[in-house]
Structure 1
């Protein structure tokens, strides 16, 4: 629903854009007045999920892990297989997004789809989504700070990176992203459009350089090369761990869902944004993955480097070209962190609107000047900073804190899809899967359960404090806190998504 340029509907209904009426009516029917400005078109909605998935950031951050857990065989064919599974998850989520196009997204739809205990389903989904997004923002920006220091070290060899400097750079990045998100949603949309082209052109430049410049590439059969350096003797276990490379990359596509209240024709454009983001990321990511794999020269040298994909660039292209391409990677990570914060802000705004967060009246307020939830933006910046601070003393401590990122997000994805699967009278929106809705949802939930088990299993042997997978502990801590909080006070005051009145009543509350 774009901003109204005509009088309110009660005075002159015939001059109001019908698209505005459709979007308004959908939101009002769900019990909410319009507080956010609709400036996201179909491309903008796609752009935010495509930016958060961010193939350049995801692949460069986790490629080294995949080189040890399965090698080229899993990096390539695992990417293809997991991408297909994620498409099922995206399709199932898209169907729900079409039915409930709100900023609350996952937690809102969980509350509406549950047959009983709507408040509890909504509560746990909302907090899993919140901590997952906060962890994602922290991890992405910490990775960006790490790569920035890698670039500085390449440029000035005397520079010595320290954990304290990494935390400081991360804090500066969070500040800049918060400032960008503070201004109008139009600026956010423009930045996300730029990020799409940055990713696509950057991918073409990196792939082109890796394809055309080196005088040597691996043979076609190298795609079948298998490596298991995880420390576990079972090759199949090492290979299954390698699937996490793709799973780590394909997170955050719920961003399109969270931006529903700022998207025109959200019942169609939000689910399309989810599916397009996953599809385009799958194709472009595979191309980038192939380029990196076939450019490897000395596997042992690259895999033992502090940043294996950067070492691959240096070995294949030389220091100067590698530095230039590293700037593309850093830019992609910064765009990813920005989009992550935008999505997190909208989830905070909606969760607070329903009274589920401490200080809710603060976080769901909207600036009259920018029409953005400014206070929620700064909360979305402060929380990742809190998670990053343990990295000042220990990288292991930081890893333990943010390890709930992917597990929390995928569990939040699974809950509404699982509840839709149980519901026989699901009221589908304009974008739906028809009779394939339930089979697709069943496959999606099954895959999420399998991948979440992998996320929580040991990922290296021998198991030490530094190599221990803290995801189960981090998840347990979140669930324990949410459960204690729920039974202590929340269940008395939070019953799930709140309705502000009848459609005609909430229409009168619209922020024009």
Structure 2
């Protein structure tokens, strides 16, 4: 007869928060960092959305925009890390908002987070499809480079990620650990190859001062264009909330989740800047690089093919494509855990289905949910004219960025309201929580307003060449979905949704109570 093992500190803390240990707690602190680092994936967002920044502001957006966004994102990450330490649960943002503000705050935070998670998965895997399609053509598998080929590869990648996620958490941890080192090594190879092997290098003055005025709205000039281009870096810095969503599978979660968030932002900021500068220095002809007829809407591939020999450009494409496949896989993992936790508390139609675990302790149905709706979100890329397919991708990045950052901001706002009443975890900001949180919130408001604007000047009604196919559908998507969620709340959910549901009747003896609003 085997004696029952006493609960670990992680299990006791989870019980205080109201949940029993259902997911497999098999992840180390490095694995927790690795999944966030993999989802941020500078080789994904930094390269696949590079054209957004280059077309809006030009090289100065790369040289100055990346460090600006990195610093501002660090303020957001610091505020989130304190919350992750206090409340280490898979619900993450949604749970924090519910605990600090009540059911209505948790409801809207959860839905913004879920929308953002689906959108970022869609954008990541579509970007991966762009690079994978290029690689397949390079190695002799001629499938074309048009949007139909890219969309079919996108669908295949989503299916692959769903299957791999269903296998189990041990595989997820191993893949993400490998991915973290792949990203670090991949960036080093990119920098070395482009730094030594590129046929031409721009001057430092050119990289840090050359501009592209594509402000679209007819005012603001380069300055406004530069601001629109910040979407490139800001989109890349999404998904680090994965460290919080994997809390229930991480050892010493109240410390490791917070460190995972902060370390992800810092490492990504430094390595990403080296990567972006290496690519920008390798540009041979800016006008040709920005010409859709030559770059098919994705300038990085054009830059690599024109700066390097076929062997080296092909090698870098393979490195980037594999990194992006790692990234999309990790995004499905994180999003499915968030959906599992949200459904566990009855917030999603069919909650019993999405919160069900397989024999391997994986929310397989939640994995399928995320994968399916990520596919649906990019269908517009096949409905608009072929030339506007990159616009649809840019809109998906906007939906992801705005949805996720609003979800990040709500619990930060509520933590500010609680002030000294907030019960901190082992990782805390001390008295710095007030200025850190204030700066984070101001930045979130700024980018949420900025990124609803069209990237294509034909998407503005006052343009003589206005067309609905060039409109940024991010605000339409967000307003439509959030409007439906708001109507659902006031018509029905407010009468039955009470926030997180305890699956542990009583916290462990002598455990301190968790302060609520």
What is the TM-score of this pair, normalised by structure 2? 0.90
Label 1:358 to 1:159 Cα distance change in 2 as closer, same or farther (>3 A).
closer
Q: Is the CA contact (8 Å cut-off) linking 1:401 and 1:474 kept in structure 2?
A: no
* 1:378 maps onto 2:359 in alignment: no
For residues 338 and 416 of structure 1, do their structure 2 counterparts lie closer, same or farther at Cα, with a shift above 3 Å needed? same
Moved more, 433-442 or 208-217: 208-217
**Partner Cα separation in structure 1 for residue 436 and residue 54 of structure 2:** 31
Matching of residue 219 in structure 1 with residue 222 in structure 2:
no
- Give 5+ residue unaligned stretches, structure 2: 460-466, 512-517
Structure 1 residues 119, 179: closer, same or farther in 2, change over 3 A?
Answer: same
Residue 506 of structure 2 is aligned to residue 502 of structure 1: yes
Matched residue, 1:98: 85
How is 1:385-396 mapped onto 2 (pairs within 5 angstroms)? 385-394=375-384, 395=389
Structure 2 counterpart of 1:134, from 115, 118, 125: 118
Within a 5 Å distance, the mapping from 1:450-489 to structure 2 comes to 450-463=446-459, 464-489=467-492
When residues 111 and 376 of structure 1 are mapped into structure 2, their CA distance, relative to the original with a 3 A threshold, is: same
Q: Residue by residue, what CA displacement relative to the aligned partner does 1:441-461 show, whole Å, maximum 9, x if unpaired?
A: 111111111111111123232
State the 1:162 CA deviation. Answer: 4.2
Of 235, 249, 266, the match for 1:262: 249
Which string of whole-angstrom CA distances, capped at 9 and with x for unpartnered residues, describes residues 357-376 of structure 1? 11111211222x31222222
Distance in 2, matches of 1:85 and 1:399, equals 21
Q: Please list every run of 5 or more consecutive structure 1 residues that lacks an aligned counterpart in the other structure.
A: 14-19, 508-512
Equivalence map 1:401-412=2 (5 Å): 403-412=398-407
Tell me how far 1:157 sits from its aligned partner. 9.6
CA offsets 1:274-310 (integer angstroms, 9 cap, x no match): 0000000000001001111111111111121222111
Matched, 1:248 2:265: no
Paired residue secondary structure (2:23) = coil
Give the equivalent residue in structure 2 for 1:17: none
* 1:380 to partner: Cα distance: 2.0
What are the superposed Cα offsets for residues 40-90 of structure 1, whole Å, 9 maximum, x if unpaired? 111000000000000011111121121221122221111111100000000
Is 1:168 equivalent to 2:159 in the alignment?
no
**1:397 offset after TM fit, Å?**
6.1
Residue 444 of structure 1 aligns with which residue?
440
Match of 1:184 in 2: 168
* 2:416 is the alignment partner of 1:421: yes
User: How far 1:21 moved relative to its partner?
Assistant: 1.9
The answer for the alignment partner of 2:64 in structure 1 is 77
Q: Deviations over 1:335-373 (max 9, x none)?
A: 111111001110111001101111111211222x31222
Is residue 235–residue 397 contact of structure 2 (8 Å, CA) maintained in 1? no
Residue of structure 1 in register with 2:182 after alignment: 198
Deviation readout 1:384-439 (Å, 9 max, x if unpaired): 12223343433366765674221111100000001101112111110000010121
Cα distance between partner residues in 2 of 1:86 and 1:401 = 20
- 1:157-182 Cα offsets, whole Å, 9 max, x none, are 96534444333222211111111111
**Residue 309 (structure 1) aligned with residue 305 (structure 2):** no
Aligned 8 A contact 2:33 2:264 in 1 = yes
1:258/1:346 contact within 8 Å kept: yes
Per-residue CA distance 1:7-33 (angstroms, 9 max, x = gap): 325xxx4xxxxxx62101110001111
Alpha carbons 2:103, 2:498 under 8 Å: kept: yes
Contact 2:454 2:471 survives alignment (8 Å): yes
Q: 1:360 aligns with which of 340, 351, 355?
A: 351
Query: Who is 1:333 aligned against?
Result: 324
Q: Report if aligned partners of 2:214, 2:222 keep a CA contact under 8 Å in 1.
A: no
- Match of 1:251, SS? coil
Q: Secondary structure at the match of 1:498?
A: coil
Partner Cα separation in structure 2 for residue 163 and residue 458 of structure 1: 21
Judge which range, 410-419 or 166-175, deviates more.
Answer: 166-175
User: How far off its partner does 1:211 sit?
Assistant: 0.6
CA shift in 2, pair 1:192/1:63, >3 Å: same
In structure 1, what is the Cα distance between the partners aligned to 2:252 and 2:289? 47
Question: What RMSD in Å do the two structures reach over aligned CA positions?
Answer: 2.0
Counterpart of 1:237 (choices 193, 210, 224) is 224
Counterparts of 1:120-131 in structure 2 under 5 Å?
Answer: 120-131=104-115
Q: Give runs of aligned pairs for residues 53-64 of structure 1, distance below 5 A.
A: 53-64=40-51
SS at match of 1:503: coil
- The size of the alignment, in residue pairs, is 489
Greater shift, 197-206 or 388-397, is seen at: 388-397
1:140-151 aligned at under 5 Å gives the runs 140-151=124-135
Superposed displacement of residue 154, structure 1: 4.2
| TM-aligned CA deviation for residue 488 of structure 1 | 2.1
For the Cα contact (< 8 Å) 1:403–1:474, is it kept in 2? Answer: no
Residues 191-224 of structure 1 show CA distances to partners (whole Å, capped at 9, x for unaligned) of: 0011111111111111110011135311121222
1:7 maps to 3
Q: Please state whether the residue corresponding to 1:456 is helix, strand or coil.
A: coil
Quote the residue 1:65 is aligned against: 52
Structure 1 partner of 2:136: 152
C-alpha distance in structure 2 between counterparts of 1:461 and 1:168, whole Å = 29
Q: Tell which deviates more after alignment, 154-163 or 253-262.
A: 154-163
CA distance in 1, matches of 2:354, 2:136: 38
How far, CA to CA, are the matches of 1:332 and 1:158 in structure 2? 22
Change (3 A) 1:257 1:122: same
